[in-house]
């Protein structure tokens, strides 16, 4: 069974079931817009209509569900997943996992990637589809599907990564494993969206990862979300220049769960960062 990865240009991501109660590793930038709601780190707001709270509201209303009614990022603290989320695994129920890239608000060109646990984020497999600007990539309908990709690391523990290409200067790679980030800062926030369970989204899959969704083999498929759906929200610049809004690239993932990878002696970890989306069932749309 094929494993699918979807990337959508919108500031949004789906939820996963957690297997650990270990704390989100952090650390976050000292200018992070914190509050006292359970000690959760709240992202700052860019006030550009694609903040994290806008993205979460939109993913619900695009499914025909009532909006959660969030009016600021602080309101989303109740959905933020604060367990360990540096590495992920598929849920072993026979269904495949998918990723969707739903929004972006960045001057940099951003690409999602995955790397195996114990490997380097710099050697990630990156998905060729990339986006820049302030926009949502679709609404997940059959007429306006999210762009998507095939997961090359099905059946193994992996991390997510984000490759960010600025207009000037070298590419930067940020990982879900904080130790691999050059500034030592956590660049990915995770939100669990269990109330999207049983909702359908449509995704246009870039099966050959060539960045072109017009090929005959790139089909629109229906993905039925489950309660293990997460939204991954990224900050794409280094600590000395970023704005702590974590809306530079947002992804929806399902049928995945965070996992804890053993520390040495058995292996040395290098980390990674990615957003994914999985489904309980799929069918090709003619």
In tens, the pLDDT along 109-129 reads 888 899 999 999 999 999 877
198 exposure class (CB count in 10 Å sphere: 0-12, 13-18, 19+) = exposed
The predicted structure's pLDDT at residue 211: 77
Instruction: Compute CA 227 distance to the chain's CA centroid, rounded to the nearest angstrom.
Output: 16
Q: 260-274: buried (b, 16+ CB within 10 Å) or exposed (e) per residue? A: bbeeeeeeebbbbbb
Which of 16 and 168 is assigned the larger pLDDT?
Answer: 168
Q: What percent of the chain has pLDDT over 70?
A: 70
How far, in Å, are 93, 182, 193, 261, 276 from residue 90 at the CA level? 9, 28, 17, 14, 10
The predicted structure's pLDDT at residue 109: 85
Taking residues 158-179, report their average pLDDT.
94
Model confidence at 195: pLDDT above 60:
yes
pLDDT tens for 42-98 read 888 887 768 999 999 999 999 999 999 999 998 999 999 988 899 998 775 555 566
**If DSSP codes are grouped into helix, strand and coil, which group holds residue 83?**
strand
Model confidence at 146: pLDDT above 70:
yes
Provide the whole-model pTM: 0.79
Model confidence at 221: pLDDT above 90:
no
């Amino acid at each position: 069974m094929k494993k699918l990865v979807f990337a959508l240009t919108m500031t949004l991501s789906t939820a996963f079931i957690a297997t650990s109660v270990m704390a989100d590793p952090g650390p976050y930038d000292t200018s992070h817009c914190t509050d006292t709601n359970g000690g959760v780190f709240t992202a700052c707001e860019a006030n550009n209509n694609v903040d994290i709270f806008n993205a979460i509201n939109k993913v619900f209303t695009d499914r025909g569900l009532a909006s959660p009614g969030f009016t600021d990022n602080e309101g989303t603290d109740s959905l933020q997943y604060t367990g360990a989320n540096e590495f992920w695994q598929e849920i072993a129920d026979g269904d495949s996992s998918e990723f969707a890239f739903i929004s972006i608000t960045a001057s940099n060109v951003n690409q999602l990637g995955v790397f195996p646990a114990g490997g380097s984020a710099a050697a990630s497999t990156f998905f060729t589809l990339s986006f820049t600007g302030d926009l949502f990539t679709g609404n997940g309908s059959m007429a306006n599907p999210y762009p998507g990709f095939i997961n090359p690391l099905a059946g193994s523990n992996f991390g997510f990564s984000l490759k960010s290409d600025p207009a000037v200067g070298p590419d930067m790679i940020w990982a879900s494993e904080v130790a691999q980030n050059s500034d030592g800062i956590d660049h990915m926030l995770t939100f669990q969206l269990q109330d999207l369970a049983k909702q359908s989204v449509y995704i246009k899959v870039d099966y050959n990862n060539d960045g072109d969704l017009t090929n005959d083999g790139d089909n629109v498929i229906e993905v039925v979300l489950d309660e293990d759906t997460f939204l991954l929200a990224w900050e794409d610049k280094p600590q000395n220049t970023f704005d702590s809004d974590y809306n530079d690239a947002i992804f929806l993932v399902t049928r995945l769960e965070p996992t804890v990878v053993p520390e040495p002696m058995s292996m040395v970890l290098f980390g990674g960062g990615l957003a994914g989306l999985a489904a309980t069932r799929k069918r090709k749309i003619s």
